[in-house]
Amino acid sequence: MLVREDLNVPMKDGGVADDSRVRAAAPTLQHLARRGARVIVMSHLGRPKDREPDLSLKPLAADLGKRVGRDVQFAEDCVGEPATSAVDRLQSGQLLLLENVRYHKEDEANDAAFARLLASLGDIFVNDAFAASHRAHASVVGVAAYLPAYAGELMLAELAALHRALDTPKRPMVAVVGGAKISTKVGVLRHLLSRVDALLIGGAMANTFFKARGWPTGAGLVEDTALDEAREVEKMAGGKLVLPVDVVTARKMQPGEALRVMDADKVEPEWMALDIGPRSIAQFRDKLRGAGTVIWNGPVGVAEIKEFADGTRAVGEAIASSAGYTFVGGGDTVAAIEALGLAGRFSHVSTGGGATLEYLEGKELPGIAILKDA
Ligand code: ADP
Ligand code: MG
């Protein structure tokens, strides 16, 4: 059984800095091993240019073993003799972790011969790497040309959550989108607008909407190349778009600065909006109260800095307290809910950063499309 997981964890000093992706992968592997499968696990780690030793998956074998509750063998390469001989030694119910698939540039190139070599290691392909499924790489997509492909448990959980939030939402359906750049999320905004009852915007992204309305934005982060897109999104939104009415400003994006709350349409020169203000928090709370479904992506302020985290904390708290179905996704958003002590209080926290965003854009992800075809 050849299983693609996303074990692309942050590493520090040769060890695993945050093992949430290992924990998320464990149920599928446990399940397969318990049923007596010979479980061969492949994953990427980082973006190695060649065989960078710092990006070896070897240190993860022990961690994975602990989470799964079984020994995990390791093969020094994902194809060739090290892989085939390790697979030959593997017994029913045992696990084998293959070395970083990205040590071979053929993985990202979705090279057919490389995919065939990977596929030759197993008899069935299980894609459990939701977080890598927006990539048409050999270990995610290519192998499915040679093996019957199925979804793993993490993949199924991610898809069920997205389906519930996007396709069969209990109404009212409210989305909160924040973060730095509108250009990276304009597809998400458009797609969500076709579904939601209200779209609340925070973060630096709001500045671009402010400027597009002709409001002064001081020294705040604005994407001047996205002003037309902001205008189009606002027009398309009808009355669904909710922008902050006030903002917390400082002169520099750093701790210890003097703070001032300003009306969103009156930000003074040299001051920058770094969080949503108290009236906006009240307005967002009001929209979130009674929501049947909430989708949240993007901190509404610079949540990494304590002084500018109040808005994200308050909005996160309001979503966490909601009786509706609550879906949270995005790398920085998930980091923020963990740092702010809100983890464990949402219906679903997605493990897919970029993959979740592409799904929220309404795109078909290649690593999921192959499962539908199978
Ligand atoms: P995610 O990874 O969850 O999709 P993003 O990457 O889009 O989220 O956005 C997170 C980033 O946006 C953080 O680095 C945060 O500091 C930044 N950000 C949020 N609000 C502001 C703001 N008002 N000014 C500058 N940066 C901001
Ligand atoms: Mg991010």
Write out pLDDT tens, residues 31-54.
999 999 999 999 999 999 999 999
Name the residues around ion ligand 2, CB cutoff 5 A: 331-332
CB 143 within 8 A of CB 115: yes
- Whether pLDDT at 17 is above 90: no
pLDDT tens per residue, range 179-189: 999 989 999 99
Same domain, 145 and 169: no
Same domain, 184 and 143: no
> Residue 373 — pLDDT band, cuts 50, 70, 90?
low
> Using a 6 Å cutoff on CB, does residue 302 contact ligand 1?
yes
Would you state the pLDDT for residue 291? 98
Same domain, 48 and 31: yes
Question: Is there a domain that residue 368 lies in?
Answer: no
> Using a 6 Å cutoff on CB, does residue 297 contact ligand 1?
yes
Mean pLDDT of the 12-24 span: 89
Helix 186-193 × helix 227-237 angle, to 10° = 10
> Using a 6 Å cutoff on CB, does residue 180 contact ligand 1?
yes
- Boundary (domain end) residue, out of 101, 130, 151: 151
pLDDT tens per residue, range 308-351: 999 999 999 999 999 999 999 999 999 999 999 999 999 999 99
- The structural domain count of the chain equals 2
Would you state the pLDDT for residue 372? 74
Same domain, 192 and 283: yes
Would you state the pLDDT for residue 281? 98
The CATH number linked to 105 is: 3.40.50.1260
State the Cα–Cα distance between residues 131 and 139, nearest whole angstrom: 13
pLDDT tens per residue, range 92-144: 999 999 999 999 999 999 999 999 999 999 999 999 999 999 999 999 999 99
Neighbours of 167 (CB within 10 A): 8
- Whether pLDDT at 15 is above 90: no
Same domain, 163 and 147: no
Question: Is there a domain that residue 70 lies in?
Answer: yes
- Whether pLDDT at 248 is above 60: yes
State the Cα–Cα distance between residues 102 and 21, nearest whole angstrom: 18
Question: Is there a domain that residue 102 lies in?
Answer: yes
C-alpha 11 to ligand 1 mean position (Å) = 22
Owning domain of residue 15: 2-151
Would you state the pLDDT for residue 13? 86
Would you state the pLDDT for residue 50? 92
CA distances from residue 207 to 217, 242, 245, 287 in whole angstroms, order as listed: 6, 13, 11, 21
Would you state the pLDDT for residue 276? 98
- Whether pLDDT at 374 is above 80: no
Same domain, 137 and 176: no
- Boundary (domain end) residue, out of 151, 176, 205: 151
- Of ligand 1's atoms, which has the minimum distance to the CA of residue 275? 23
Question: Is there a domain that residue 53 lies in?
Answer: yes
Question: Is there a domain that residue 371 lies in?
Answer: no
In single-letter form, the type of residue at position 321 comes to S
Same domain, 246 and 336: yes
Mean pLDDT of the 189-195 span: 97
Same domain, 33 and 147: yes
Same domain, 96 and 215: no
State the Cα–Cα distance between residues 101 and 78, nearest whole angstrom: 6
> Using a 6 Å cutoff on CB, does residue 204 contact ligand 1?
yes
DSSP string, 254-274: STT---EEEETT-BPTT-EEE
- Kindly report the protein residue whose alpha carbon is nearest to atom 16 of ligand 1: 302
> Using a 6 Å cutoff on CB, does residue 257 contact ligand 1?
no
What percent of the chain is modeled with pLDDT above 90? 96
Average pLDDT value over all residues in the chain: 96
Question: Is there a domain that residue 365 lies in?
Answer: no
| 354 included as an active-site residue | yes
Same domain, 199 and 215: yes
C-alpha 227 to ligand 1 mean position (Å) = 18
